[in-house]
Amino acid sequence: MKIPDSTYMMENGSIELPCTPEEEARIIQELISKAESNLKQGNLYYVISNRWFMDWQRYIRKLLGAYPFNELATESLPSLLPNSANRPGPVDNSDIIIREADSGDDDPQLLRTLEEGRDYVLVPQEVWEKLSEWYKGGPALPRKMISVGDAKQLSVEVFPLCLNLFDTRDKSHKALWLSKKASLHELYTIVCKLKEIAPEKAHIWDYFDKKKHTKLVASNQTLEDSNLQMDQDILLEVQPEGSLPSGFGFDSTGNDLALVPVEPLRSSVTIAGGPTLSNGFSTGYSSNAYQGSSLNSSYGDMEDGYDSLRPASKGERGGLAGLSNLGNTCFMNSALQCLVHTPPLVEYFLQDYTDEINRQNPLGMHGELALAFGELLRKLWSSGRTPVAPRAFKGKLGRFAPQFSGYNQHDSQELLAFLLDGLHEDLNRVKQKPYFETKDSDGRPDEEVANELWRYHRVRNDSVIVDICQGQYKSTLVCPDCNKISITFDPFMYLSLPLPSTATKTMTVTVFYSDGSGLPMPFTVTVLKHGYIKDLAQALEIACCLRIDEYLLLAEVYDHRVFRYFENPTEILNSVKDDEHIVAYRLPKRVAQLTRLEISHRYLEKCIIDSSKASERKLFLTPLVTFLEDPHNGADIDFAVHKVLAPLRRKAFISSAPGLKDGAENGSPSETIEVPMNSCTIQFGREGQSTECIDPVGNSSMELTFHLCLTDERGTNCRPVTKDTVIEPVRMQKVILDWTEKEYELYDASYLKDLPEVHKSGLTVKKTKQEAISLFSCLEAFLKEEPLGPDDMWYCPRCKEHRQASKKLDLWRLPDILVFHLKRFSYSRWLKNKLDTFVNFPIHNLDLSKYVKSTDLSESSHVYELYAISNHYGGLGGGHYTAYCKLIDDDRWYHFDDSHVSPVAESDIKTSAAYVLFYRRVKAQQNGVVGGSFQCHRSS
Catalytic annotation, residues: 330, 880
Q: Considering only CA atoms, which of 97, 29, 93 is closest in space to residue 57?
A: 29
Classify residue 210 by its DSSP letter. G
Q: What is the CA radius of gyration of the chain?
A: 36
Strand partners, 178: 161
Three-state DSSP class for 669?
coil
Burial class (CB in 10 A: 0-12, 13-18, 19+), 85: middle
A 10 A CB-CB count for 675 gives: 17
C-alpha distances in Å from residue 4, one per residue of 29, 134, 379: 18, 14, 69
Distances (CA, A) of 582 to 574, 627, 686, 724: 13, 20, 36, 35
Q: How many CB atoms sit inside 10 A of residue 871's CB?
A: 22
- Beginning with the edge strand found earlier in the chain, give each strand of the sheet holding 215-216 in spatial order: 173-178, 161-167, 232-238, 202-206, 215-216
d(CA 3, CA 752): 53
Q: How far is CA 778 from CA 495, 609, 820, 843, 870, in A?
A: 10, 64, 10, 16, 17
Distance CA 75, CA 79 (A): 11
Are 326 and 254 in contact, with CB atoms under 8 Å apart? no
Report the alpha-carbon distance of residue 839 to residue 712 in Å, rounded: 51
What CA–CA distances, in Å, run from 446 to 119, 452, 470, 784, 848?
Answer: 54, 10, 19, 19, 19
- Compute, in degrees rounded to 10, the torsion defined by CA atoms 301, 305, 311, 317: -130
Distance, first Cα to last Cα, the chain? 76
Q: At 859, which helix (H) or strand (E)?
A: none
* Interacting residues of 365 by C-beta distance below 8 A, sequence separation 6+: 150, 396, 400, 422, 425, 426
Q: Hey, is 36 helix, strand or coil? A: helix
Structural contact between residues 351 and 414, judged by C-beta atoms closer than 8 angstroms: no
Residues 199, 210: Cα–Cα separation, whole Å:
23
Q: What DSSP string runs through 394-433?
A: HHHHHHH-GGG-SS----HHHHHHHHHHHHHHHT-S-SSP
